[in-house]
Every structure is written in C-alpha cells, then in structure tokens.
Structure 1
Amino acid sequence: MLEEFVISVFAAVGTIAFATSGSFKGIRHNLDILGIFVLGFVTALGGGLIRDALLGHTPVAFIDVMPSIYAAIGCIIAMLSGRISLKILAMLTQPESKAFLVVDAIGLAAFTVLGARMGADAGLNLFGIVLLGSITGVGGGAIRDLLVVEVPLILKADFYATATIIGAVIFAVLYWLDWSLPVIMLITFTLTLVLRLLAIWRHWQLPKTKWD
C-alpha cells in the first residue's frame, strides 16, 4: 500500500514538473498552444515511452489516463503563469535560469526513481537498472530540446546526467541489499535532487576535453 502510494506521488510530481519545464521552453520559443502542449507532453512522457519500449511493455501512457492528465496540468500551469507576472514567466522560460533548472531537476529526480524501480521489477542487473533510470530521467528532455533545435541539456549541462546515474546506482545497490522499496525510492529521489540542485548552485561541471 505504501509502496504504491509513493510510486503514484513520484509519477505525479515528475510528470507535472517535466510537462511544466517543457511548456516553459515552448513559450520561450514562441510556439502556439498546440506546440506548447506537444513540447510539454513529449518532455513528460518521452522518457517513459523509451523505457517501456526497451522493456517490451505497452507504454504506461497508452494504458493509464493519469500520465496524460498530469502532463496536461503541467502545461496549463506553465501557460497560466504568464498571467501572474511577465517577469516570473521570463525567468522560468530561460533554460539557463535557476527557476527553470529547479523545475527540471524535480522531474529528473522523480523519473530516475520510477525508471530504476521498473528495471528492478523486471529483474535487470545493475547496468540495466541504471540505464532505465537514466533514460527515464533524461529521455523526454532530450527529445524536447531536439524538437526546438537545441543541444540537449544532457550533453551540455553541469552535472545533469551524472546526477541521475549516481541516483540510479544508489537505487540498485540498496535494492540488492534488500532495503524497503519506499525507503529506497525516497533516498534515491532526495539524493538525485540534491546532487542536481548543488550542481546548479555550485556550477559543477565534468572535465572537458580541449582540442588544439
């Protein structure tokens, strides 16, 4: 009972957060209402669609209506925010802004948990759990950025994919140690979110190769 409740909360939080961040980017690129919804839905559901395809499952978004409802809520939140304050909207829609990155970080952490958990349920090894957790976390955002002709955040952001990989590894290790699943999910979410927020705050970056 507790496990299902925690999963439902993460699914709702992650979907709404990612749909909101995707819609904000659509607003920044001056897309019409359909374009904003497309970008929001792709960001919220894209990673899960890839994950389910890898697992050979019918995508959850095609069976359960709630992911679409959560995604729609995120899109509406983004569009209504423009009526509150143009200054706030401008801050939220800038991909380099702290506000945009924080919203995206929440979705990243929640979806890392969901992907890793589905990998564990499928009986995958450490690599499989980490891969599914990472893809679920960054897949939708990568598709979002490609649709608006931007270099995906995963390829240029400071400590973005690294945070989800570390979170998924911790999930897999704690799962192997047979910890309670709700506790594992809460720890993974918190760790992934904290790492990403610290990276935003402290401007952490991985080493880059310089070519002469």
Structure 2
Amino acid sequence: MDYSFLNIIDILGTIAFAVSGAFSAMERKLDPFGVVILAFVTAIGGGTLRDVLIGNTPVAWLRNEMTATVILATAFITLFFGRYVKQFQKTLFLFDALGLGVFTLIGMEKGLRMQLSPGICIALGTITACFGGVIRDVLLNNVPLIFQREIYASACILGGSLYLLLQKTGLSNDWNTIIAILTIVLIRIIAMRYKLMLPRVYENRM
C-alpha cells in the first residue's frame, strides 16, 4: 500500500467528507441506512462524476476497496459517537479544507494525463472536490453550498489555476502540488475566519 503524502491526505479528506455527509443526514434524523448513503455520496460523488465524464470506468472507488471501507467505518463511528466527534469541528474543517485541495489536484491530474485543455482540467478538479457535496445537498433538498455566496468552488478554481501556472516555473511537480493544495486550504481558512463571501448579484434587483 502506498502511504505517500497525497494518499494519506486523500484518506483524511475522504474521512472528513464522509463525516460531513453523515452529520447532514443525522441533522435531518435519517435512519442508519440514510446516514451511510449520505456519507458515501459526499465522499465519492465528485470523483464518480469526474470518472464518468472522462470515461475512466470502472470508477476509482470501485477499484479500491480501501475507500469504501474507510467511508463505511467513518459513517458508523459518526453515527454512534457523533456527540464526541462534533467537539472536533475545527479539526474536521481543516481536514475538509485539505481534502478540498487534494481532490482538486487529483481531478486535475486525471485531466492532464488525458491531455485535456487547462480550463477542462480545472473544471474536473472542481467537480472532484465539490460535487459530492452538491449531490448530498440535492438529496436533502437544500440549496448546494457552492451555489451560495460562500467561497468554496472558487478556492478550487484559484488553486487549480495556480497549479497550472507553477508548472511553467520549473519547480518540481511535488512542490507545485503542495503549494496549490496549501493555497486552497489558506483561501478556505481565511474566508471562514473573516467571513469573506462572493458579492450578491440580485440584492438591488429584487
């Protein structure tokens, strides 16, 4: 098993997204099956959509039993120990931010390997990182987070754009990846810390 930096953070990001989905289900008082389904959807929804779009089938999580095992274990731990897990929301937010950065880069790398255009690669990275949450919110009849004013998908776009620019500097790909991930994480942290949001476009028109 490869315990490289990216794989470890990938697992932590998967755990964070699974916890997010499980908590969302628990807040709506869904049964245990619903909690597990929401955990899976949140953690793998974006990657699944990405793989379907680029024809990479069977999709990644079907070829990696570890992913399903981690999500299932996380869902049940959250279900039975939710009150204790919830005390570590700041840590979970950090994992979520790290996962957002890692999944953005994973999606972009998939596109780059297929020699797709830069814009499409950034889109694939954003889809990988964000669309599990979109599917989760749709299932719960909520307006998806990335369609609101919070800086979320835009952090992926900025970090992905920086990654492509860094590739022209001569730095090693590992450094490019780390810098892009940290940029996405810092954007999320700064946005949450100072409550930065995208501007309203309808405020003066309604």
Identify the residue that residue 18 of structure 1 maps to in structure 2: 17
| Deviant stretches of 4+, over 6 Å | none
Alpha-carbon distance in structure 1 between the residues aligned to 2:27 and 2:92: 11
Q: Once the 2 structures are TM-superposed, how far is the Cα of residue 130 of structure 1 from its aligned partner?
A: 0.5
AA of the residue aligned to 1:124? L
AA of the residue aligned to 1:190? L
CA RMSD of aligned residues (A): 2.4
AA of the residue aligned to 1:67? T
Q: Once the 2 structures are TM-superposed, how far is the Cα of residue 157 of structure 1 from its aligned partner?
A: 4.2
Q: Once the 2 structures are TM-superposed, how far is the Cα of residue 127 of structure 1 from its aligned partner?
A: 0.3
TM-score relative to the length of structure 1: 0.86
Distance of aligned partners of 1:144 and 1:30 in 2 relative to their CA distance in 1, 3 Å threshold: same
Identify the residue that residue 51 of structure 1 maps to in structure 2: 50
Q: Deviations over 1:61-98 (max 9, x none)?
A: 1111121122123313322433538xx46x95xxxxx6
After TM superposition, the structure 1 stretch with the greater mean CA deviation from structure 2, 133-142 or 105-114, is 105-114
Residue correspondence of structure 1 range 9-158 to structure 2 within 5 A: 9-58=8-57, 59-82=59-82, 84=84, 88=86, 101-158=93-150
Identify the residue that residue 182 of structure 2 maps to in structure 1: 190
Q: Deviations over 1:142-177 (max 9, x none)?
A: 000111010001011421111111111112222344
Decide whether the 8 Å contact of 1:15 with 1:71 is kept in 2.
yes
Decide whether the 8 Å contact of 2:150 with 2:198 is kept in 1.
yes
Alpha-carbon distance in structure 1 between the residues aligned to 2:63 and 2:127: 20
TM-score relative to the length of structure 2: 0.88
Distance of aligned partners of 1:196 and 1:48 in 2 relative to their CA distance in 1, 3 Å threshold: same
Alpha-carbon distance in structure 1 between the residues aligned to 2:75 and 2:113: 31
AA of the residue aligned to 1:45? I
Calculate percent identity across the aligned residue pairs.
32
Alpha-carbon distance in structure 2 between the residues aligned to 1:78 and 1:55: 33
Identify the residue that residue 196 of structure 2 maps to in structure 1: 204
Task: Say how many residue pairs are matched.
Answer: 203
Alpha-carbon distance in structure 1 between the residues aligned to 2:47 and 2:125: 10
AA of the residue aligned to 1:74? T
After TM superposition, the structure 1 stretch with the greater mean CA deviation from structure 2, 21-30 or 116-125, is 116-125
Q: Deviations over 1:38-62 (max 9, x none)?
A: 0000000000001111111111111
Q: Once the 2 structures are TM-superposed, how far is the Cα of residue 131 of structure 1 from its aligned partner?
A: 0.5
Q: Once the 2 structures are TM-superposed, how far is the Cα of residue 99 of structure 1 from its aligned partner?
A: 6.9
Distance of aligned partners of 1:185 and 1:81 in 2 relative to their CA distance in 1, 3 Å threshold: farther
For the residue of structure 2 that corresponds to 1:123, the secondary structure is coil
